[in-house]
Chains A and B, each alone.
Chain A
Amino acid sequence: MKVLALDSSGLTASAAVVEDDGINSSLLAEYTVNYKKTHSQTLLPMLDEIAGMIELDLNTLDAIAVAAGPGSFTGLRIGSATAKGLGLALDKPLVHIPTVDALAYNLYGTDRIICPLMDARRNQVYTGIYEFEGNRLKVLEPQMAVGIEEIAKKLCALGREVIFLGDGVPVYRHKLTEILMAGQKFSFAPGHVSRQRAGAVGMLALQYVREGRTETASAHRPDYLRLPQAERERAEREAESHG
């Protein structure tokens, strides 16, 4: 089984091709750039580059996977529209991978609690709480948009050693160190596994495909975890006028 994976949810843009034969899995190619946010210009050329290097015949793909949110609204749509276009053109199903799950999957096999942090602005992070149970990623708290204090509180309640990763780490490192109780052990993942990687999206997607968790390219849409600002403000106005 062969899957093409894309992640343009954050500052990083990443494309990968993964495959497995039911026993062994492998990452055939991955191109990840964490430089400037010009995903619209870079994502497809990156895919073209790796496809050329591994002489990929796109028709041999079983599915197209995409980190489908949360993340930058525009970034998510660049990834999703690319995946939808590929799915339509190749008549292949899509795999919708939660961005925060794929981030957590970077830390395969750790016995610590995994807490990805994506900077969501407006004093929030996109985050979740995960652990590995055997070789499976177990979701303790599904991905959400919350304040840093709230996720820290949940982690304190668990009372276990935590490893943080994601582009929210540089933003909240200091604050986390302040909030987390003395005595609680925590650490921060090193750079090569601390950002979105399409390889991790693809590996999770292989599991999804085997379990039949795919969707049509037409039905696919990103999962923003947030309403558009205009819609939120309208809901607030209506709540006020009815309240």
Chain B
Amino acid sequence: MFPLYKRRRMVQTQVVAGGMENDMSEQKDIYILAVESSCDETAASVVKNGRHVLSNVISSQIELHKLYGGVVPEIASRKHIEKINQVIEEALEQAEVTLEDLDAIGVTYGPGLVGALLVGVAEAKAISYARKLPLVGVHHIEGHISANYIENPDLEPPFICLVVSGGHTHLVRVRDYGDYEILGRTRDDAAGEAFDKVARAIGLGYPGGPKIDKLSKEGNPEAISFPRAKIADSPYDFSFSGVKSAVLNYLNSCQMKGQAVNRADVAASFQKAVCDVLVEHAMLAMEACGGDKLAIAGGVASNSTLREAFAKACKERGVRFYHPSPVLCTDNAAMIGAAAYYEYQKGVRHGWDLNAVPNLKLGER
């Protein structure tokens, strides 16, 4: 048991440059406890003023789901309920705050697996109800975008953000905090999903992203020509089922011909095809929307080839390129705390009837 109520944060008296103590007109620090359980990570975090992460605790279930080659919703939900209190208590402990120090609770309420989301939502609602704290429901993608604020104090909207993960591929114009315009999205598989499927096909296992990234370093990205899909009339939309099928067809035809498959070349060529499309569409959006800031987010944003490709393309165009550290790319609660802060400041409050919304749209309330 953690002594949640015994330890109070030391009251700090800040001293400004002139040596005078801060008076009451100085803005009060806002502490938010954030909870995330939309897929297979149970996570909690305490974030101060939206950008200062005091703790970021993640209990990953990846090892468990590896046995099944992907996330099993019922197993994920069961693990969330087992771990959630422990994860929250650890987040408070590491941040050296108690529930009394908090100003609000933020929680992911969609999109994601409904049973998994419900655990975090019910838990967060109960805590905020019992402690009379404001409740702020957060969109998972908004969390991913906001991960960029944490390590980049200078980043402010407007900017363009590409969110790429196992469940999502969105090209978003961030007009202001909490104000989003979706420019493009995938028509079929998410980019990360394509990585997982191709990884399985070449025997790398789950999760595929990091494994393909690693193996690609030994392969030739120009060895095999895989298609780069374009959607007529929707220059910003994506499609990854075609490139995935092309890889599967290539593997089949090699097998029929009795040719050996160079897995590293397949991985590198596939990865290049996906990265090319992501970069190209994002750059099109930059040109059309103007601005000089581009961010990436989501689990696939930790892919090293994708980062390099974006860094190069941005540099050529004089665009500032932002990306979170890998731990803030994959699902975490710090990013939910960052997003919740800006929603909280805008006055967003959710009621005790907040529900999990598995197909929640970005910008919807």
Out of A47, A48, A89, A221, name the residue touching B81 (CB < 8 Å). Answer: A221
Please report whether the interface of chain A is mostly helix, strand, loop or mixed according to DSSP.
helix
A–B pairs, 16, beta carbons within 8 Å: A40-B121, A74-B118, A77-B77, A77-B119, A77-B122, A81-B118, A81-B119, A86-B129, A89-B127, A89-B129, A89-B130, A89-B131, A218-B86, A228-B74, A230-B72, A234-B68
Report the nearest A residue to B351, measured CB to CB: A45
Which of B118, B122, B131, B355 neighbours the largest number of chain A CB atoms within 10 Å of its CB?
Answer: B122
Contacts A77-B78, A81-B81, A89-B126 known; list 14 others, CB within 8 Å: A40-B355, A44-B122, A44-B129, A82-B123, A82-B125, A84-B123, A85-B122, A85-B123, A85-B125, A88-B89, A88-B123, A89-B127, A220-B85, A221-B81
Please report whether the interface of chain B is mostly helix, strand, loop or mixed according to DSSP.
helix
Contacting pair A91 B126 (CB below 8 A): no
Interface size on B, residues (CB 8 A): 40
Tell me the bound Cα distance from A47 to B89 in angstroms.
Answer: 24
Contacting pair A85 B126 (CB below 8 A): yes
Out of B4, B122, B353, name the residue touching A91 (CB < 8 Å). Answer: B4
Scan A91-129; emit 1 where CB is below 8 A from any B CB, else 0. 100000000000000000000000000000000000000
A78 and B130 in contact (CB under 8 A), knowing A48-B352, A222-B81? no
Interface size on A, residues (CB 8 A): 38
Asked if B67 is at the interface (CB within 8 A of a chain A CB), the reply is yes
Q: Give the chain A neighbours of B72 by CB distance below 8 A.
A: 228, 230-231
Asked if A180 is at the interface (CB within 8 A of a chain B CB), the reply is no
Which of A41, A84, A85, A221 neighbours the largest number of chain B CB atoms within 10 Å of its CB?
Answer: A85
Tell me the bound Cα distance from A62 to B135 in angstroms.
Answer: 25
A93 to chain B, nearest CB (A): 11
Q: Give the chain A neighbours of B120 by CB distance below 8 A.
A: 81
Contacting pair B84 A81 (CB below 8 A): yes
Residues of B with Cβ closer than 8 Å to A? 1, 4-5, 67-68, 72, 74-75, 77-78, 80-82, 84-86, 88-89, 99, 114-115, 118-127, 129-131, 351-356
B297 to chain A, nearest CB (A): 27
A73 and B115 in contact (CB under 8 A), knowing A42-B353, A218-B1? yes
Tell me the bound Cα distance from A218 to B42 in angstroms.
Answer: 14
Asked if A229 is at the interface (CB within 8 A of a chain B CB), the reply is yes
Tell me the bound Cα distance from A83 to B356 in angstroms.
Answer: 18
Tell me the bound Cα distance from A119 to B317 in angstroms.
Answer: 63
Scan A208-224; emit 1 where CB is below 8 A from any B CB, else 0. 00000000111011101
Q: Give the chain B neighbours of A90 by CB distance below 8 A.
A: 130
